Each structure stands twice: as structure tokens, then as C-alpha cells.
């Protein structure tokens, strides 16, 4: 009877641990794409800071001719992921001053994850110099080349640490002097990516220990011998 109680206790423990791991895994995938909404509106998930002001992120109805994708509805003009460009102005063709434009979003994770991967693609005009997660650089770019090329964009596959609760992700986009001189370049960013966090190693260790304990208990139970004593 005692052996059966122990087995049931271990089974309940294992079930609880397994459910915990499943919950943690499900709670740590976050879509951080830009331009969630209709052209001509604002993206409430992103904010923009220019050298002179803090602005809302606009989803422009018009985009620069060099921005080959992301201006059309999903499935059209190369925009197969639903992400759109965001800019400091409602008109994406307007020029911006030379300097760094910072695009930021805040997302929340309910579980602490010791490892996470940011996967997807981004496009920018002119170029992303850094990507910051909670103020720590997770991407650095020393190239002077623009990143608004047609189609595929710049791939992201970055592993980093996350925090339980609020996390801030920022793209620092350098707006360079255009062919017409300083202040003759538009500025914009398009991101289609997700954070996929890995449950804590401790969670997996508890699961393995639970499986081992149940197996050991069942093995001992099978070896138990019943002896009859006659008077």
C-alpha cells in the first residue's frame, strides 16, 4: 500500500512538472513584427525617437521606391509575412535629418527563460547600427551599406538572455546624408521576427528526475515478492 502511495505521489509530481514546462514553453514565444495595422495608421506596439523628438510609429500609405516590400497588403509585392514599414512620418517618402532614429517595442514574458532566440528578418533605411535588448547590444553592424534590398532582408538568428516581465527591444537606425546632401534621405524600418524562449534547464532536469523516480519505483514494485506463512 505504501509503495502504491509513493508511486501515485511521484506520478502527480511528474504531471505537475510536465504541465509547468508546457506552460513555460507556450508563454515564451512573442511576435515582434512591425506595421501591425492598416497603412495610414499608427503601430501601437512601436515608438520612435529621433534626434529632435519622440514620435509615434506611423504605418505610411506611401513608401520610398527603394523599399521593395512591405508597403502592400499581405501576400502582395513581396509582403508575405504581414509586416509593414514604420516611419517617423505618415508619408514614408519624406526626408529625415541625418542622425540615429531609434525604433523600440516593449513585450512581456511571464516566465524567466535562460536562453532565447530572435529569428526573422529586418529591412532598414539607411542601416541598423545596433539592436539592443534591455539596453544590451545583441547585434552590431559596422557596415555603411543600406539594408533595404529587395525581398529577403537581413536575417536575424540571435540567442540572448531575457527577463521575466517587461523587455525592451530597440533598433538603432542611422539615417545618412542622401545624394541631395544632408537631410535628403527618408528613414524607415521593417521587422518580421519572433522571440522563441527556451524553458529553464532546471525545469528539464526536474522532468528527467521525475521520470527516473517513477521508473525506479515501478521497478522496485515488480521485484516485490509475496510470501505466505502457514500456521
Lowest mean pLDDT among 8-12, 28-32, 184-188: 8-12
Residues 161 and 219 in one domain: no
How much is the pTM? 0.73
Q: Considering the domain boundaries, does residue 231 fall inside one?
A: no
Q: Are 134 and 212 contained in the same domain? A: no
Domain that holds residue 38: 29-198
Residue 24 scores a pLDDT above 50: no
Q: Is 101 a domain residue?
A: yes
CA distances from 33 to 49, 89, 105, 123, 143 (A): 18, 19, 10, 12, 24
How many domains, the chain?
2
Q: Indicate whether 229 belongs to any domain.
A: no
110 and 216 in one domain?
A: no
Let me know if residue 230 belongs to a domain.
Answer: no
> Does residue 228 sit within a domain?
no
Q: Are residues 11 and 67 in the same domain?
A: no
| Top-confidence residue, 30 or 47 | 47
Amino acid at each position: 500500500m505504501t509503495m502504491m502511495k509513493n508511486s501515485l505521489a511521484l506520478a502527480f509530481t511528474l504531471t505537475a512538472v510536465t504541465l509547468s514546462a508546457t506552460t513555460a514553453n507556450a508563454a515564451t514565444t512573442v511576435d515582434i513584427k512591425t506595421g501591425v495595422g492598416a497603412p495610414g495608421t499608427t503601430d501601437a506596439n512601436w515608438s520612435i525617437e529621433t534626434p529632435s523628438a519622440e514620435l509615434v510609429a506611423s504605418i505610411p500609405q506611401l513608401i520610398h521606391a527603394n523599399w521593395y516590400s512591405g508597403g502592400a497588403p499581405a501576400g502582395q509585392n513581396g509582403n508575405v509575412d504581414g509586416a509593414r514599414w514604420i516611419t517617423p512620418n505618415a508619408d514614408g517618402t519624406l526626408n529625415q535629418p541625418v542622425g540615429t532614429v531609434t525604433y523600440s517595442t516593449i513585450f512581456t514574458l511571464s516566465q524567466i527563460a535562460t536562453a532565447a532566440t530572435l529569428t526573422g528578418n529586418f529591412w532598414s533605411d539607411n542601416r541598423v547600427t545596433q539592436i539592443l535588448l534591455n539596453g544590451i547590444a545583441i547585434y552590431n553592424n559596422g557596415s555603411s551599406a543600406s539594408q533595404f534590398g529587395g525581398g529577403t532582408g537581413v536575417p536575424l538568428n540571435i540567442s540572448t538572455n531575457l527577463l521575466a516581465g517587461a523587455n525592451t527591444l530597440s533598433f538603432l537606425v542611422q539615417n545618412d546624408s542622401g545624394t541631395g546632401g544632408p537631410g535628403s534621405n527618408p528613414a524607415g524600418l521593417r521587422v518580421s521576427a519572433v522571440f522563441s524562449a527556451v524553458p529553464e534547464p532546471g525545469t528539464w532536469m526536474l522532468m528527467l528526475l521525475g521520470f527516473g523516480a517513477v521508473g525506479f519505483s515501478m521497478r522496485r514494485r515488480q521485484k516485490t515478492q509475496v510470501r505466505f506463512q502457514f500456521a
